[in-house]
Amino acid sequence: MNSIDDVVASIKAHKPQGRPAEMRAAFAALVGPQPAAEDVAIGPAGGLAVGSGPTLLWFHGGGFVFGAPETHVALARAIAAAGVRVVLPRYRLAPEHPWPAMLDDALAAIDAVPGPVMIGGDSAGGQLALCAARRRTVRGVAVLSPNTDRTGASRTRKPLSARDLMNDDAGDAALAREAFGDRPGDDPDVSPWRSDLSGIAALHIEVGTEEVLLGDSLLLAEAAVLAGVPTALHMTPGLFHLAALWPDAVPGAAAQLARLGAFARDAAG
């Protein structure tokens, strides 16, 4: 896509809704054609990789119901431009495979990389990275607009639902029910900002100011700082949820991904 107008038109034309298969097809159409990537054997089901340098495992978003490595290659390439190899592991999706199936797959992917590795993800993939980081030693965690709060503590989910082009509170909650069922909102996997974050070596958070999940990032950043985690939070004015899926078309999106890539490169030591 060549412009923000193209992106907005695609979002309006391909809203993920209906059955899971329909949502997956709509999301793939929404993001549009992706660049080529290398097939890699990692975790239970493999994945895709782009770039060269230290490895950053990046878990794709999509509410744990849709999305795939194939929908996130443009985003991954923009991160990789900072000098890292971005690997997009494939993980099982709900409702066919509810939580913790995707967490088990993420941990298997981390275990497949020798030594500590950087991990990250966008939206639900950022939530997945945060949950995995509590269970494995990693060099750093880089997240883009992560889901972190299902307790109702966030003050932006409902107010920004009418302004966020890609997300709204009701739809986000419906996806969470598919993945987590009746798990309570204060479960540390369901709301990672309430978990013990002290074992994270370093954390970088990117979010837009027009996002339903802006409050999720604010809660996460505060909790991480209070836990003693070196934390950076960057809020880009005007960006909607996952605008970075179109780094060449949405102003400000490429800069988000460049900062995430630089963090991952520097965290590698």
Q: Does the active-site annotation cover 97?
A: no
Rounded to an integer, what distance in angstroms lies between the CA atom of residue 196 and that of residue 211? 25
Catalytic residue (one of 60, 72, 204, 241): 241
Catalytic residue (one of 123, 145, 191, 217): 123
Q: Does the active-site annotation cover 60?
A: no
Q: Does the active-site annotation cover 217?
A: no
> End-to-end CA distance of the chain, in Å?
35
Identify the CA nearest to 86 among candidates 95, 75, 101, 98: 75
Q: What angle do CA 93, 250, 57 make, to 5 degrees?
A: 40
Catalytic residue (one of 178, 206, 210, 211): 211
Note if the bond before 100 is cis, omega within 30 degrees. yes
Is the CB of residue 40 less than 8 Å from the CB of residue 76?
no
Residues taking part in catalysis: 123, 211, 241
